[in-house]
Every structure is written in C-alpha cells, then in structure tokens.
Amino acid sequence: MITGKKIPRLFLIFLLLTVTNAWGQDHAATPSVPVSPIEAQTTITVEPAITAPNALEQDNTAAAPSAPATPIEAQPPIVVEPTITAPNTLEQDNTAVTPPVPATPIEAQTTITVEPAITAPNALEQDNTAATPSVPATPIESQAPIIVEPAISAKPVGIHVFAVGDIMIGTTFPEDILPPNDGLSYFDSVLPLFKGSDILFGNLEGTLTEGGRSPKCGDYKPGPGVKPCYAFRSPPRYAKLLRKAGFDALGVANNHTLDFGMEGMENTIVALDNAGIQPVGGRRVALFRVHDKRIAVAGFSYSTVTPYVYSMLDIPKAAEIVSRLKAKNDIVIVSFHGGAEGSAALVVRDATEEFLGENRGNSVRFARTVIDAGADLVLGHGPHVPRAIEIYRGKLIAYSLGNFAVYSMFNIKGPSGQGYVLQATLSAETGDILSFRTPSTVLLHPGIPVIDNKGNAKALLKKLSEDFLAEEPDAESRREILLKTWK
C-alpha cells in the first residue's frame, strides 16, 4: 500500500527519468540522421577555384541538383572574354594540360559560355576545352593572311598580242637576192622582242612560191634606163624561218600577194599552212584560243578583192564582217593594208588617200568604224613608215607599223628604215587595251633588222601620235590616256 510519504518520492523519480530521456534525445549521435545535401555542399565551396586554374578538374558531383550553377565570376582563370571579340578563337587549343582527368561534366561546362560558338560555325570541330592561361587567345589581326582581298585586287588577265609591219625576207625575182646563210640567222637580233607574246603577227609583203610569171611585171629585166618593177617572190622554205622566229599569223591581204597571180597566192597559203602559220586575209580568218578566250584575226586591204582579201574601201561591208566575227568570238583583231607610202605619208588624217593613182582608202574612218562594229585591236601597214597610234573607245589603233624586215628591195633610209614591235596587252574580258610598248628596230643595209637602243621609232611615234590627237576635240584627255597606257 502506497502511503502518503511514498507519493512525493515516486513523483520525483518519474520527473528525473523524464528529464533524462529528453536530454538523451537531444544529444544522440547523428549517423542515423541523413545529412542535408545543401548543408554538405556548403562545406565544398567553389572559392578555391578562384585561385586554382584547374578547379574544373576537381570532383564536384556531390552537388545536389537543386544547387545553383557555378557563377561565371568563379571562372576568372578561364578567360573567356578574348573569345567574344575573336570569332575564330575557338579554333585554338584552349585545354588545360591534364590528360588523366575525365571530361568535364555538363554542369561544369555551363560555366564556359558557348556564345562564341554562335559566331564560329565550325567551333564544334575544334578542341575548345579549358585553355592554359599562359597561352593568350590569338588576336583578330593574326587572321589577316586568310583574306581573299588580294584575288579581288589582282590585275586583270591580259592577252599579249605582238605585231610588226612589213616582212619580205628576200626574192628570187628578177634574180636571186637572198639574205646571208639562206636567212637562217636573219631574225636573230630581234628575237628578244618577241618573248612573252601569246600571238605574234606580221604583214607578209610578197609571195612564197617557186617560178611562175608576174602579171604586173611580165618579162621584166632590170637594166639602165629600165623602169623598176617590184614583184616579190621568196622561196617557200622561208615559211619555216618565219615560224622558227615565232610568227603565229601573217597577213596576206595586201598588194603584193598577187605579184605572181592567184597561183602564187595559193602557193603562199599552202607554204604558211605547212609551216604552222595561219594566213590572215579574206576568208582565211586566223583563230586562236588564249586564256579560254576565242580570238579571231581578219585581214583587209585596199587592193584587188580575192578570196583572201576583204576590201577596206567598202567600210559598211567591213563593219558587217567584223560584227559577225564578234558574235562568235571574244576578241577580234583587224589587220588592214592601206594609206599612201613613203616619208611624205607619215601623217595620217581622216581623209581618203591616193598613191600612184590608186585609192588607198581612209584609214582613220575604216579603223574607227570596225571598232564601233566590235573590233578590239586594229593593226595597219602599207605606208612603209611608222604612223600615229591612238586609243579609240578603249581600243588601240596602230595606223602603220612601218618596215620591219625587208631585204634589199626597199628604201630603208630615214623613217623608211625605222620599225617597231607593238607589244599590246588586251583585257581578256573586254578586249580593251591595258598597256602597250613599242621597242624600236632599225634596218641595217641591205635590210637586216636589229634592235635600235636609241629608240628613234618610238620617239617618232610619240610625236606623230600627239600631233594626230591635237586635231581632236577631246585632245588633252585622250593624250593623257594614251601616254598613261604607253609604257
């Protein structure tokens, strides 16, 4: 039986046990209680990454999914700013050299912004892992060599057309008058002036044939009191000398290719064809392909019309012929044989010329008209002296190339012995003249061509050209263009 004295004692024991149990629960060991991930993460601070360049190499997988991504500010060692201003910096090696460390987790990669990759289409093909701080990002200036501007500003592609005037290497009529060594070294002195040509043209002032009778000279025999008759007949084998010198095309539309009739003309055509030289005249239009451009060379003359001579006297017809050629070719070159002859014919004018009672045509009107019709270069010969050069609507006209290589039978005194090599560079796209040179030549007795280092023909050409342009209404501007193009 519990007495009144025992009740207070039991109450005290109960109170003591209750307090003791409560204290034990508050101070029990924590292993049975799971640690909050957030509290655990707070113990793994990202501050060391601020001073440790390889912070991304640490194991940061302990972070709970709810933990915020590491801020960009925590990444100073991984300098991203240079890549923002250099679109191609992702092409550089940005890795921190730590081969054993596994690939950076996606969460850590979010701190390396991928915005630069937006401006670098091929960035995913590059190695864009963390860069070693000691290797600075390549500045934009280093990319300058990878620029196509040089190709944009490159000079236009040029077609190099070289041309000379009258050529007659020697004749067997009325007797043999041939150059030394049968002409084998006849062109040797001037060969350097032919280097660099895509097309080399000259005017063949005579025939390449054996025997035959000359319709204009008949049974002519030279002698005292006998009026000279000039008919030129060179051996057909000389065609090979012309090819060896470098000629690609030779004009046959002139007043001497009929010196031995149509038979002599036909023999000349055959000799040139066999030597690999294209005849130029009438229906024989020389065709070339240079820089993938089709080039046609057509021949006109004041002389008798034949299948190998287009007339320069019928200017409207000439324009039609050139227009048709232009429709099928990229570049059209016109050769013409016209104008008066000799030192009295140095000056060319926009007027019809006569010589020895023959109509020699209006060279200026003819040349400008064929350019209007589509010609890109006009080459004149026939006067046996140099004449003016002009640039008309961007195209070059040489009114007379003079005597270049004529042996024994020609007057070679004064300007009649002065020639030049026209070295013209045409635009492959437009046919316009880009530049030209006129190195001088001179004929040594009895007609051997050599380089004239004094430049007499060039000096004469410049004076004649400036005088010719002085009569034009836009003389000053045209003179400026001519001299700027003339090298």
Q: In this predicted model, what pLDDT tens digit does every residue of 328-369 receive, in sequence order?
A: 999 999 999 999 999 999 999 999 999 999 999 999 999 999
Query: Alpha helix (H) ranges present in 341-402?
Result: 363-372
What are the Cα distances from residue 423, in Å, to 123, 163, 166, 437, 464? Answer: 52, 7, 16, 5, 18
Q: Is 385:344 a contact under the CB 8 Å cutoff?
A: no
Q: Given the structure tokens 């003339």, which residue do they identify?
A: 486
pTM beyond 0.75:
no
Separation between Cα atoms, residue 293 and residue 327, nearest integer Å: 13
Strands (E), 141-183: 158-168
Strand pairing class (158-168; 403-406): parallel
Q: Return the amino acid letter for 463.
A: K
Greatest Cα-to-Cα distance within the chain, rounded to the nearest angstrom: 189
Sign of the Cα torsion 22, 28, 34, 35 reads: positive
| Structure tokens belonging to residue 65 | 């999914």
Q: Is the pLDDT of residue 444 over 50?
A: yes
Write the pLDDT tens digit of every residue in 254-302: 999 999 999 999 999 999 999 999 999 999 999 999 999 999 999 999 9
Q: Is the pLDDT of residue 137 over 60?
A: no
Average pLDDT over residues 219-224: 92
DSSP states along 255-301: TTTTTTHHHHHHHHHHHHHHHT-EEEBTTB-EEEEETTEEEEEEEEE
Write the pLDDT tens digit of every residue in 46-83: 344 433 344 333 343 333 333 333 343 434 443 334 33
Q: Return the amino acid letter for 435.
A: S
In 10 A of CB 323, how many CB atoms?
15
3-state SS assignment for residue 184: coil
Query: Looking at per-residue confidence, does 170 or 97 come out higher?
Result: 170
Say what the pLDDT of residue 36 is. 40
Query: Looking at per-residue confidence, does 95 or 195 come out higher?
Result: 195
- CA-wise closest residue to 467 among 373, 415, 390: 390
Write the pLDDT tens digit of every residue in 396-439: 999 999 999 999 999 999 999 999 999 999 999 999 999 999 99
Half-sphere exposure of 2 (CA within 13 A, CB side): 6
Domains in the chain: ranges and CATH: 63-146 (no CATH), 158-485 (3.60.21.10)
Could you tell me what percent of the chain has a pLDDT over 90? 67
Separation between Cα atoms, residue 258 and residue 267, nearest integer Å: 11
Q: Is the pLDDT of residue 41 over 60?
A: no
Distance of CA 460 to the CA centre of its chain: 32
- CA-wise closest residue to 260 among 212, 203, 310, 319: 212
- CA-wise closest residue to 431 among 483, 364, 472, 373: 373
Average pLDDT over residues 319-334: 98
Average pLDDT over residues 191-207: 98
Query: Alpha helix (H) ranges present in 282-377?
Result: 315-328, 363-372
Say what the pLDDT of residue 156 is. 78
